[in-house]
Amino acid sequence: MSDTAILNKNDMVISKTSVSVLFAGDSGDGMQLTGTQFANTVAVYGSDLNTFPNFPSEIRPPAGTVAGVSGFQLQFGTTGVYTPGAKFDVMIAMNAAALKANLNNLHHGGIIIADSEGFDAKNLNLSGYGEANNPLEDGTLNDYTVFKIPVISLTRKALADTGLSIKIIDRCKNMFVLGVLYWLYSLPLETTIETLQSKFKNKQDIADANIKAVKAGYNFGDETEMFSQHGRFCVAPAQKKGGVYRRVTGNEASAIGLAAAAKKAGLKLFLGSYPITPASEILQTLAGLKKWGVKTFQAEDEIAGVLTSIGAAYGGALAATNTSGPGLALKTEGMGLAVILEIPLVIINVMRGGPSTGLPTKPEQSDLLMAMYGRHGEAPMPVIAAMSPVDCFYAAYEAAKIAVEYMTPVLCLTDGYLALSSEPMLVPSPDELASITPVFSPERKADDPPYLPYKRDERCVRPWGIPGTPGLEHRIGGLEKQHETGNVSHDPENHALMTRLRAEKVANVADIIPDLTLDNGPEKGDLLVLGWGSTYGAIKKAVEQAREGGLDVAHAHLRYINPFPKNLGAMLGNYKKVLIPENNCGQLLSMIRDKFLIEPVGFSKVQGLPFNEMEIEAKITDILKEL
């Protein structure tokens, strides 16, 4: 990171390429809202951006305690922003507990902006520091740059003439802090002002007070002596592709991907689902898309979630269900039915720490082998994994395309990290989206040959004959079916044939998926880092940094896990070593070893936390040292 100091008339402006910020405070302090405001501002300003909320799993934890700390992390910058940042450069601590909970993730020498009034005796006791040990005063923070700001007093002073109650004025304190931060990073206030105007359009006094607080915070930065010896910062906008952008979380992107696929295919979207952390926002988002004809069905359980979708798919809808690990386990029998019925179905599994209830709010990549093999009988299905919040859109979209065009259930894997992270998405035009072409069997006349629901085309794909179409009346089910007719058959040779044909059909999906391309690095060399899913950002950053340090390392990232891209085996053979970092105990690794008979190096992290780039870069360095 090359930092340039420019001396202005009054203050020094230091240029940065990227900055990671954590907003941390009590659950009631509005940190998610404040962080979101900041994210919107830098997004509109043109920065690269990645955000991640970190809130307590309890709904109303005790105020002032470490358990009650709510955080919103984001990284923005000119280049190289692929994650919310491994550690923060700046922390906003609204109280003592917020500092205590997050200090170990602040870079040494990092900036702390603390609301000094959140460090009173009560807060110090609740936080566990104890009232005699105020970290702002006792030297604990000597390694950091600390700005102590009496936020409540300053906010009250700024809003004294509004005539609003103290309670309402105090609620504006987060806007004051936001103003300070805008000053510190030389950012414009307009986006936030516009948002506040529209959010409180029926409560003008509240809008005015919040706007006043933001401006007061900004002016405080200008006027106070506090910052003068440290200067302020400037992060130039990214060199982004021109166009219209929106901000999406992974879960929103998954939902929109499904809805867009239905529109593009000319089908109605049906989502049968049961609420589960961290997948519920997909159901919630789609429930709000009735204007686009989306039907959501909040089922009585996970099993009904998948079975209602199978019913809808039989009826000709683009059907999907979404869940997380425990729910995927419950859906497995239904998914097997979808395999043998050979109907389109998208299952989005937002992975979380397991087994059992495990770590519901923490990400993990440990459902890969269940996605691949977790059904009774020979029941293969395509598996796709999203690698970034925006990619959740494209992964869901492609899952729908494969499901419809290959008459198969498709599993789309995301995880809790992608689900809640957000980033700017370049809004595609409808023409840029791949076509999705469902083929419904046409009406059959009385003297036409009999309808054969399991007569396959050259790709082994059967036709989609939906109820309501005269002449196609047929009965199908979970019992093994006779080749072509679909009638029940217990014939041994027929079962062998149908098992083979179902597998062949899934294997044939490889014909339409793109070859795996390198994300970075040479085509041949010492080391390939092969990733899948949400490790993308951390691996990308780690490989970039390692290459800047002169190491011979490349990065490729798998989205299509079943079937694999056709060139994967050849690519793996071009490197002396293959490193596979995974948030599990080596699940992709065992698939790769099984399929290609090579021995990759695994790098496993199962802490309910995503990888950070430093860990991966260190591992790369270690491996290359040994070569």
Nearer to another protein, 248 or 558 (CB): 248
Q: Which of 312, 396, 404, 553 binds another protein (CB under 8 A)?
A: 312
Q: How far is the CB of 474 from another protein (least distance, A)?
A: 7
CB of 387 to another protein, least distance (A): 20
Output the CA torsion sign for 325, 326, 327, 330.
positive
CB–CB of 491/481 below 8 Å? no
Site for another protein in 444-473 (CB under 8 A): 467-473
Among 341, 371, 399, 616, binds another protein (CB under 8 A): 341
Amino acid at 402: I
Single out the segment in contact with another protein by CB under 8 A; choices: 29-37, 173-181, 292-300, 493-501: 292-300
Stretch that binds another protein, among 241-249, 368-376, 489-497, 567-575 (CB under 8 A): 241-249
Residue 243 found at the interface with another protein (CB under 8 A)? yes
According to DSSP, the residues that pair with 273 across neighbouring strands are: 298
Residues of this chain, 17-46, that bind another protein according to CB under 8 A: 43-44, 46
CB of 405 to another protein, least distance (A): 19
Q: Measured from the CB of residue 167, what is the shortest distance to another protein in angstroms?
A: 30
Binding mask 397-436 for another protein (x = CB under 8 A): ------------------------------xxxx------
Q: Which of 334, 389, 563, 602 binds another protein (CB under 8 A)?
A: 334
Question: Of 130 and 266, which CB lies nearer to another protein in the complex structure?
Answer: 266
- Whether 54 contacts 73, CB under 8 Å: yes
Q: Angle at the Cα of 605 (from 368 to 51), degrees rounded to 5?
A: 85
Contact residue for another protein among 311, 374, 438, 522 (CB under 8 A): 311
Which distant-in-sequence residues (6+ apart) come within 8 Å of 376 by Cβ?
332, 333, 336
Quick check: 199 binds another protein (CB under 8 A)? Answer: no
State the nearest-atom distance from the C-beta of 520 to another protein, in Å.
Answer: 24
Token readout for 436 is 């999705």
Which of 55, 144, 200, 292 forms a contact with another protein (CB under 8 A)?
292
Could you tell me which stretch among 52-60, 92-100, 299-307, 454-462 binds another protein (CB under 8 A)? Answer: 299-307
Phi-psi bin for 580: left (phi > 0), alpha (psi -120 to 50), beta? beta
Q: Which is nearer to another protein, 229 or 239 (CB)?
A: 239
Measured distance CA(558)–CA(253) in Å, rounded? 19
Residue 93 has phi, psi (to 5 degrees) of -115, 110
Is residue 505 within 8 A of residue 460, CB to CB? The reply is yes
Contact 553, 620 (CB under 8 A): yes
Reduce the secondary structure of 503-520 to three states and give it as a string. HHHHHHHHHCCCCCCEEE
β-partners of residue 54 are 71
- Number of neighbours of residue 300 by Cβ within 10 angstroms: 9
Contact status: 333 vs another protein (CB under 8 A): yes
**Which one of residues 310, 400, 554, 561 is an interface residue with another protein (CB under 8 A)?**
310
Backbone φ and ψ for 21, nearest 5 degrees, come out as -125, 140
Q: Which range in 58-66, 131-139, 293-301, 355-363 contacts another protein by CB under 8 A? A: 293-301
- Dump the DSSP string for 141-204: TTTSEEEEE-HHHHHHHHTGGG---HHHHHTTHHHHHHHHHHHHTT--SHHHHHHHHHHTTT-H
Dist CA 339 CA 373 (whole Å)? 13
Provide, rounded to whole angstroms, the least separation between the CB of residue 299 and another protein.
7
Any contact of residue 396 with another protein (CB under 8 A)? no
Stretches 1-9, 139-147, 310-318, 555-563: which one binds another protein (CB under 8 A)?
Answer: 310-318
Residue 190 makes contact with another protein by CB under 8 A: no
Instruction: Write the DSSP string, 574-608.
Output: TEEEEEEEESSSSHHHHHHHHHH---PEEEE--SS
Closest contact distance (angstroms) between CB of 590 and another protein is 30
Applying CB under 8 A, among 301, 448, 457, 599 the residue interacting with another protein is 301
Q: Which long-range contacts (CB under 8 A, 24 or more apart) does 594-597 make?
A: 595/564, 595/569, 596/568, 596/569, 596/572
Using the contact rule CB under 8 A, the part of the chain among 213-221, 253-261, 402-410, 529-537 near another protein is: 253-261
- Closest C-alpha among 322, 404, 340 to residue 376: 340
d(CA 86, CA 139): 25
Q: Are strands 269-273 and 318-323 parallel, antiparallel or unpaired?
A: parallel
Residues counted in the chain:
627
Indicate whether 188 belongs to the interface with another protein (CB under 8 A).
Answer: no
Q: How far is the CB of 359 from another protein (least distance, A)?
A: 27
- Using the contact rule CB under 8 A, the part of the chain among 233-241, 495-503, 543-551, 585-593 near another protein is 233-241
How far is residue 494's CA from residue 506's CA, in Å, rounded to a whole number?
A: 19
Please name the residue that has the structure tokens 């909970």.
101
Site string for another protein, 590-609 (x = CB under 8 A): --------------------
Dist. CA 121–CA 612, nearest whole Å: 36
Applying CB under 8 A, which part among 64-72, 132-140, 207-215, 304-312 lies near another protein? Answer: 304-312
Half-sphere exposure of 238 (CA within 13 A, CB side): 22
Subset of residues 376 to 395 that bind another protein, contact rule: CB under 8 A: none
Using CB under 8 A, which of 275, 360, 438, 478 touches another protein? 478
**Which residues are at the interface with another protein (CB under 8 A)?**
43-44, 46, 237, 240-248, 256, 259-260, 263-264, 268, 270, 272, 289-293, 295, 297, 299-301, 303-304, 307-312, 314-317, 319, 333-334, 336-337, 341, 427-430, 467-479, 487-488
